[in-house]
Amino acid sequence: MTDTRAHVFVSGKVQGVFYRATTREEARKRDVDGWVKNLADGRVEAVFEGPEDAVAEMVEWCHEGSDRARVEDVEVEYGEPAGFDSFDIRR
């Protein structure tokens, strides 16, 4: 299976609801690398890199998010992996 990259933007009530921390937990469970961060406009941005099926699971997970999140929209762009070797929360 080849590796892929998904760059996602999640909108809704996704800040202050443990979205980033839960995203990191879920990504690490699936051995997906990349990062997640809050944006000034209230959205969350994330990059997932890894096996296609694991990345697809993370994109799907983004539609639900953490228990307290209320996701309204998820935009996804696919591309070539940049080669991250961990999953981090960016400030």
What would the two tokens of residue 21 be?
């921390």
* Residues 62, 85: Cα–Cα separation, whole Å: 21
Cβ neighbours of residue 25 closer than 8 Å, sequence gap 6 or more? none
Active site residue 91: no
From 5, 24, 38, 90, active-site residue = 38
Neighbours of 40 (CB within 10 A): 5
- Out of 5, 20, 24, 43, pick the active-site residue: 20
20 is catalytic: yes
Catalytic positions are 20, 38
